[in-house]
Structure 1
């Protein structure tokens, strides 16, 4: 019996790394899709490529960086300092990239239709809800409604961790033996993770709560 196909939006970070491995373990024929949207931490794409090579998963990195001519103003894509502090602090609003997930999901769904894949996975989780509207359940529900009718072939948006924290995501991954040294989280794309941005703080919190040392090096 031929395995069902699935597209996984894979940033190279912890959440999508866990989702990618889950999809592989569930027996899907996985097509990983990463985007260069001009993010300052595009180092994550190198991690994504290595992880897919290790898993022998088909992987595309698509350059859509020209989109920044339309959707600038985020500290992830424009010349604005990345805020330090916890995700839930108002300062982290500067990391919002306008309409990012709707754009990425739209392209991933088009890719899925061309592959005759019925599912697109992405790693939205509850820790993102405070800051990122396009990771909230109401967004995912509406996107699923649209993706059911946008093409002749319905595509389901699958978010296994939509109501879970990064702490829970890490616990799931550790339980199936994942090596998070293969992931990059920091919003600053320097040689080592900064340990101070919201992404780093949430990652470090997850490792601390799980009683495990983070394998990444920090400044």
Structure 2
């Protein structure tokens, strides 16, 4: 884990997707106590929360879901929160993926998780951002990581654990690296959810599905995900 020793107790932002689930397993392996916090922010793929809850049960750790559904009304214009905006298909490198940005989403979630950490005496907040997010999502970049950590410490000065840290173990790693680490740790990939469409199965064509498929292929790990047959010809 970068920068410092593994935390004693981390509050982990937990979507039920590959990145956050593997982060939970990494923290557990390194001896950290983990509490999970998920958010219903009016996302189109709200079914991810059911996956998060099931995985939390498997991990046997505390799990809270924070209701931020009213945010969906004021964070419009994103394909993830506004049903009038179609989910773009293709690779994350495509400029069309900018429509999946939810303004200030990670800052909102991290600050709430930080409040929960301070209230519970935890010494860390964790999230699963990785290098593949950097091109499209400014709130997944190292400069954001450093700024939000400083903000949390400043905003809780005198009340926060002196050893507090913001933990993002995959910030400089790829999605394929995350898959390899998850395979090593025995993560039940089949229980995770990535797709932005939020249908019965993964659409296989949206940016996060394309990235997921590529990551398993690059990592040389069998992909147990069920994808829509309509995505069979999607370029990856």
Specify the TM-score bucket, using the shorter chain as the normaliser. over 0.9
Maintained 8 Å contact 2:37/2:65: yes
* Alpha-carbon shift at residue 211 of structure 1 (Å): 2.0
Q: Tell me what 2:174 maps to.
A: 165
Q: Tell me what 1:176 maps to.
A: 185
Root-mean-square deviation (CA, aligned residues, Å) is 1.1
Maintained 8 Å contact 1:147/1:156: no
* Alpha-carbon shift at residue 213 of structure 1 (Å): 2.5
Residues 1:103 and 2:94 aligned together: no
The runs of at least 4 aligned residues of structure 1 exceeding 6 Å deviation read: none
* Alpha-carbon shift at residue 44 of structure 1 (Å): 0.7
Equivalent residue in structure 2 for 1:194, among 197, 203, 209: 203
Equivalent residue in structure 2 for 1:119, among 109, 121, 124: 124
Equivalent residue in structure 2 for 1:48, among 49, 52, 75: 52
2:180 counterpart SS class: helix
Query: 5+ unaligned residues in a row in structure 2: which ranges?
Result: 1-6, 229-236
Equivalent residue in structure 2 for 1:67, among 63, 66, 71: 71
The TM-score with structure 2 as length reference comes to 0.89
* Alpha-carbon shift at residue 72 of structure 1 (Å): 1.2
Aligned residues between the structures: 217
Q: Tell me what 2:35 maps to.
A: 31
1:162 counterpart SS class: coil
2: CA distance between counterparts of 1:210 and 1:106?
Answer: 33
1:212 counterpart SS class: coil
Q: Tell me what 2:14 maps to.
A: 10
The TM-score with structure 1 as length reference comes to 0.96
2:25 counterpart SS class: helix
